[in-house]
Amino acid sequence: MSLTNTETVATAAGNAAAAPPADRRGGGGSWRGHAERHALLGLLVAVVAFFSLYPDSAQTFFTSSNASMLLGNQSVVALLALAVILPLVTGYFDFSLGAVAALSSVLTAGLMSFHGWSLWAAVAVSVAAGAAIGAVNGLLVTRFGLNSFVTTLGMATLLGGLVQWYTGGQTILAGIDPALPQFGSATWLGLPRVVFIVALATVVLWYLLAHTPFGRRLYAIGSNPRSARLVGVRVDRSAWTTFVMAGALAGVAGVLQLARAGSATADNGTGLLFPALAAAFLGATAVVPGFFNPVGTIIGVLFVSVSVSGLTLSGASSWASPVFNGAALLVAVGLSTYLGRARGVRTG
Amino acid sequence: MTSTETAPVATDVVLRITGMTKRFGATTALDGADLALRAGTVHALVGGNGCGKSTTIKVLAGVHRADAGRIEVAGSVWTAAGYDARAGRAAGLRFVHQDLGLFPELSVAENFALDAGYPAAGPGISWRRLHQRVAGLLEAYEIDASPRTPAGALRPSQRTLVAIARALQDQERDQQLVLVLDEPTATLPQHESQLLLDAVRRRADRGQTVLMVSHRMAEVLSVSDDFTVFRDGRTVATLAGVRPTERQLVDLMSGTATGAATQPAAASAPAGPATAEPAVLEVAGLVGGPLRGVDLAVRRGEIVGVAGLVGSGRTSLLKTVFGQHEPVAGSVRVDGAPAAPGTPARMAAGIAYVPEDRGGEAAFPDLTLRENLSATVLRRYWRPWGMARRRERAEARGLIGAHAVKAASSEVPFAALSGGNQQKAVLARWLRREPQVLLLDEPTQGVDVMSRGDIYRTVRDVAAGGCAVVVASSDLIELYALCDRVVVLRDGRIATEVSGSQLTPDHLTELTQSTAGPVPAPGGTR
Ligand SMILES: Nc1ncnc2c1ncn2[C@@H]1O[C@H](COP(=O)(O)OP(=O)(O)OP(=O)(O)O)[C@@H](O)[C@H]1O
Ligand SMILES: [Mg+2]
């Protein structure tokens, strides 16, 4: 297949797992519809219950300190996962978002440390840089019709290199405005403050995707871009916008990363991207099965992180986390495809 | 006919379905349907939209598993649960789906090879053997093309024939294959479909067994030996070796004895707008793509048909007016004001367009029927606190009722609707905008004979309400039944125009064909 912009991730998780014949969203659905919508949430509860009772982890797992740490640490992945679903809804991958977050983290630290910029200026420039990178990706993919998979993978590699060059491979420790790490470790109502940023982003995205004409058009593009064009949707512009928004959101995730860690390491962001992708695809099997959606994504993030945390606390080694993330991604993609086939809806 | 082959015994049944039942959730698509296919016959499966024809074919193809019933192919018997795609293939069933599944940029030979494999020559491919074999097949199926031609360069009927020949290419052995076609002619213009059906008929005369679904009654009657009529998932009639009239078939399909529904009552159509009405749509000197300077003015309340051969630019004309293509020259005016470029602007100016390619250009297959219906009016439902879902749902239900769309609810995925019902929903999606200018491209493809009359009535009502309607259709009877005036596109220009008593199917056939050599006028019996 040539490098066109017609690759459809929507087929991977989107339309493959389209809806059951019965009522799909809200309202009284069929038994099966209900079971499917809430399966992932049920699984999450089951995993929490299991590790709370499992002898090896029972002491440490179900404690408020573990919960607080877990939520705080996952906030970066969660923001990134929310960013990832934006282009995915319209049928495009953006693999550069992990690198964008890494770059934003390093840039925020570097601008303060190397150039003495104020915190706010550094944050603003980093987030804007994320948006700009998204704009470039979006332009290449929509206007010039390059394959989003390859384009954004190339961008990710390029950004990883830039990060190395900018930091000289060193971790940036000194010269960071202490207000940022303080915010990163502060709590509010017993929860890390960063969690509220994630919650805010989730609500905003949920509103945008499910409750505005703009969001509905994005799902229409994901379903069939040619039909979307013929009902008056500006397909390229809308898809481009999702890349820009995703880039900016990944930029915020990078700042959050710096706030949590207190220092910026020269990293290419892959370690962030894959859990985020796994969460996004898992999320597409929940809440609105068959469609990438913010609430499902957050449940996906929690499911992956709670499972990994439980495994770690019960003594599994460091390989457990990537193995689990990878397996979750495969299962999520497989499950959504299977559900689609089982219903006999177009299986692409 | 070759001398080694004797005429098929007309009584042996190669495919028999008994008591087939298939449910999708609360919908019963098939309710104990029966079907028996005699060897060497063309068998037409007919029935209203959503009566279960495609479902039957999908069960035979192994796409769906039936809930109950018995399938018997060439002497082997399966229960519904034990049957799958492989069993059907082994027993000799071959399917050609409506999208044909050809790779347009690959050569005809490669299209054959992708199905049956490439002949090997040592470690490589023997192109010579492949081309030889394919040339033989092309000749046998009377396809006028070389194995090296790209499949996309063939004319539509030949493309379908290539797909048929490809499906049947392993018929060398003693095994008798059964060819199954779901609406093979729905997207073909009239004389293309005639060419295709003639070729199918000639294959059948040499012993090929064919099962075919179609909504075009004249066609079905001209080519078929046997008929099975479905209604609501049940077999209501099996006519073997008898020739029913169109009216009898329609009565069986609809379950009523009126029979009048199929007659597109041109005479009863409102007399059209007074010539004093102002032009709503004015197209002047339009150049671009196949168009070489089209001038067209459509008045308020007028229904203008666009006829022409394949490639004459009918679809291009409508798409350019709708702002999908940027013309090289020329102007489009709505209500006297020049229309801004781009589809969103044209929609805002009151233009609506029902595209020809339903699956590719109109459907959002995995979105719900409601979402498909609202795709043109999303902003209407936006409130600061979110989309007004309740209202959206209620209005969707209203449209489903008003346009007689057969669906379990407004929340089913669009892909679960039958073809004809999808078409009705697409029409509904545009009519709800109450357009000033309605552009229809093959508006009744896949729609059953009974609903066709309803759609004509709806379009006439819309026109009577002041809308300017342009209908592009390759079905000349349709243009005759629906239009006040028909323009004929030829070589990117409007060659002639007919209206009033001149507007007859026969005359239209003459006009459209006049550059393409004489072709016997099909249909047109009045
Ligand atoms: N995958 C599916 N899920 C749910 N319902 C379905 C599905 N496929 C078909 N149906 C329903 O089954 C019924 C029969 O559909 P089918 O496609 O067989 O009709 P058809 O006879 O081919 O009609 P048409 O002439 O319009 O093509 C319809 O009511 C349709 O809505
Ligand atoms: Mg059908």
* Residue position matching structure tokens 């906030």: A75
Cα-only R_g, chain A: 20
pLDDT in tens, chain A (348 residues): 333 333 333 333 333 333 333 334 433 346 667 777 888 888 888 888 888 888 777 777 777 788 888 888 899 999 999 999 999 999 999 999 999 999 999 999 999 999 989 999 999 999 999 999 999 999 999 999 899 989 999 999 999 999 999 988 888 888 888 899 898 888 888 888 999 999 999 999 999 999 999 999 999 999 999 999 999 999 999 999 999 999 999 999 999 999 999 888 888 888 889 889 889 988 888 888 888 999 999 999 999 888 888 888 777 777 877 888 888 888 877 776 665 544 433 322
From first CA to last CA, the distance across chain B in angstroms is 36
**Mind telling me how many Å the CA of B361 is from chain A's nearest CA?**
4
- Three-state DSSP class for residue A214: helix
User: Is A204 inside a domain boundary?
Assistant: yes
Per-position DSSP letters for B87-116, written without gaps between them: HHHHHTEEEE-TTTT--TTSBHHHHHHHHH
Which residues on chain B are in Cβ contact (under 8 Å) with A210? 386-387
Phi and psi, residue B292, nearest 5°: -125, 40
pLDDT of the residue at B449? 87
Instruction: Name, in order, each residue with C-beta under 8 angstroms of B438's C-beta and a sequence gap of 6 or more.
Output: B352, B354, B430, B431, B459, B462, B467, B468, B469, B470
pLDDT of the residue at A217? 96
> ipTM higher than 0.90?
no
For chain A, the domain total comes to 1
**Mind telling me how many Å the CA of B355 is from chain A's nearest CA?**
8
Which residues on chain A are in Cβ contact (under 8 Å) with B25? 20-22, 30
- Quote the domain boundaries for residue A34: 5-342
Instruction: Name, in order, each residue with C-beta under 8 angstroms of A244's C-beta and a sequence gap of 6 or more.
Output: A131, A134, A135, A138
DSSP strand pairing (B13-24 vs B68-73): antiparallel
Q: Looking at chain B from residue 378 to 417, which residues have their Cβ under 8 Å from any Cβ of chain A?
A: 378-379, 381-382, 385-387, 389, 408-409, 411-413, 415-416
- Provide the CB-side half-sphere exposure for B374 (13 A, CA): 30
Between the CA of A245 and the centroid of ligand 1 the distance, in Å, is 40
- Smallest Cβ–Cβ distance between A226 and the set B24, B360, B379 belongs to B360
pLDDT of the residue at B296? 94
DSSP strand pairing (B386-387 vs B382-383): antiparallel
Q: What whole-number distance in Å separates Cα of residue A53 and Cα of residue B461?
A: 69
Q: What whole-number distance in Å separates Cα of residue B479 and Cα of residue B485?
A: 9
Between the CA of B127 and the centroid of ligand 1 the distance, in Å, is 42
Q: Which residues line ligand 1 (CB under 6 A)?
A: A 21, 344-345; B 24, 27, 29, 47, 49-55, 406, 416-421, 446, 448
Residue B247 contacts residue B241 (beta carbons within 8 Å): no
Domain with CATH 3.40.50.300 in chain B: 1-92+178-185+203-257, 265-350+435-526
| Among B155, B172, B165, B184, residue whose Cα is nearest residue B109 | B165
Which residues on chain B are in Cβ contact (under 8 Å) with A345? 365-366, 413, 415-416
Closest-CA residue of A relative to B375 is A231
- Smallest Cβ–Cβ distance between B409 and the set A14, A23, A229 belongs to A23
**Of the bound ligands, which one is closest to the alpha carbon of residue B49?**
1
Q: What whole-number distance in Å separates Cα of residue B415 and Cα of residue B157?
A: 26
pLDDT of the residue at A326? 83
| Among A135, A149, A154, residue whose Cα is nearest residue A12 | A149
User: Is A41 inside a domain boundary?
Assistant: yes
Residue A183 contacts residue A197 (beta carbons within 8 Å): no
Closest-CA residue of A relative to B103 is A1
DSSP state of B344: H
**Ligand 1 atom at minimal distance to the Cα of residue B56:** 18
- In tens, the pLDDT along A307-326 reads 888 888 777 777 877 888 88
| Among B243, B200, B199, residue whose Cα is nearest residue B218 | B243
DSSP state of B79: E
B382/A212 CB distance under 8 A: yes
Which run of H or E residues covers position B138?
Answer: helix B127-140
User: Is A92 inside a domain boundary?
Assistant: yes
**Nearest alpha carbon, ligand 1 atom 3:** B416
Q: Does B367 touch chain A (CB under 8 A)?
A: yes
> Chain centroid to CA A124: how far?
21
Closest-CA residue of A relative to B59 is A344
**Nearest alpha carbon, ligand 1 atom 16:** B52
Between the CA of B425 and the centroid of ligand 1 the distance, in Å, is 14
DSSP state of B4: T
Length of chain B: 526
User: Is A196 inside a domain boundary?
Assistant: yes
pLDDT of the residue at B268? 44
Instruction: Name, in order, each residue with C-beta under 8 angstroms of B450's C-beta and a sequence gap of 6 or more.
Output: B48, B250, B253, B254, B261, B262
Average pLDDT, chain A: 83
Residue A257 contacts residue A148 (beta carbons within 8 Å): no
In CATH terms, is domain B1-92+178-185+203-257 a member of 3.40.50.2300? no
Question: What angle, rounded to 10 degrees, do the helices at A97-113 and A64-90 form?
Answer: 120
* Cα distances (Å, whole numbers) of residue A63 to A52, A69, B407, B412, B442: 9, 10, 51, 44, 66
Give the CATH number for residue A205. Answer: 1.10.3470.10
Strand ordering across the sheet containing B68-73: B27-38, B13-24, B68-73, B76-79
Q: What whole-number distance in Å separates Cα of residue B407 and Cα of residue B401?
A: 10
Average pLDDT of each block of 10 consecutive residues along chain B (526 residues)? 39 88 91 92 93 93 92 90 89 84 85 79 77 85 85 82 84 75 83 85 88 90 93 92 88 73 46 69 92 93 88 88 93 92 94 90 93 95 91 96 92 90 94 95 88 90 94 89 91 87 82 55 35
pLDDT of the residue at B421? 93
Per-position DSSP letters for A110-129, written without gaps between them: HHHHTT---HHHHHHHHHHH
Q: What whole-number distance in Å separates Cα of residue A252 and Cα of residue A246?
A: 10
User: Is A347 inside a domain boundary?
Assistant: no
| Among B213, B209, B132, residue whose Cα is nearest residue B171 | B209
| Structure tokens that stand for A112 in this block | 């303060």
Helix residue spans in B362-413 (DSSP H): 369-374, 389-402
| Structure tokens that stand for A202 in this block | 């989730």
* Class of CATH domain B265-350+435-526: alpha beta
Closest-CA residue of A relative to B353 is A230
Phi and psi, residue A295, nearest 5°: -65, -45
**Mind telling me how many Å the CA of A142 is from chain B's nearest CA?**
17
* Residue position matching structure tokens 């049928």: A91
Kindly compute the dihedral angle of the four CA atoms of residues B217, B222, B223, B226, in this order, to the nearest 10 degrees.
70
**Mind telling me how many Å the CA of A214 is from chain B's nearest CA?**
9
B26/A21 CB distance under 8 A: yes
Q: What whole-number distance in Å separates Cα of residue A231 and Cα of residue A216?
A: 12
* Residue A248 one-letter amino acid: A
pLDDT of the residue at B518? 39
* Cα distances (Å, whole numbers) of residue B152 to B110, B111, B186, B510: 12, 11, 19, 28
Phi/psi class of residue B335: alpha, beta or left (left: φ > 0; alpha: ψ in -120 to 50)?
A: left
**Of the bound ligands, which one is closest to the alpha carbon of residue B409?**
1
Q: Which of B56, B358, B411, B418 to mutate to test the pocket of ligand 1 (most atoms within 8 A of CB)?
A: B418
DSSP state of B175: P
Between the CA of A264 and the centroid of ligand 2 the distance, in Å, is 59
| Among A195, A216, A249, A183, residue whose Cα is nearest residue A74 | A195
pLDDT of the residue at A19? 33
User: Is A348 inside a domain boundary?
Assistant: no
pLDDT of the residue at B258? 55
- In tens, the pLDDT along A233-263 reads 999 999 999 999 999 999 999 999 999 998 8
| Among A14, A315, A72, A102, residue whose Cα is nearest residue A191 | A72
pLDDT of the residue at A66? 80
